[in-house]
Amino acid sequence: MRDRFKSTNMEEKQIKLLKTLAKKIQLEKKDRTIVVASLQSAKILTKGENFTGHLKNLDRVFARTK
């Protein structure tokens, strides 16, 4: 029982830390070139700035923002 409490408490701390980090990231200004480079390094975008493989359907959603 004690171990279960410990893991729940630890999970709550992790959730709080992740929420804080998410808020911090949302507030940061982002440069388009940095975002594109990041998505390319994660293999989400190709060099031609198209979505890769199974993410191709996202082209329809983001077509308006190019």
Q: Hey, what are 52's tokens?
A: 């890769």
pTM over 0.85: no
Closest of 24, 44, 25, 28 to residue 36, by C-alpha? 44
Q: Give percent of the chain above pLDDT 70.
A: 83
Give whole-number Cα distances, 17 to 7, 9, 24, 26, in Å.
15, 12, 11, 14
Model pLDDT for residues 18-39, shown as the tens digit of each residue: 899 888 888 988 888 998 999 8
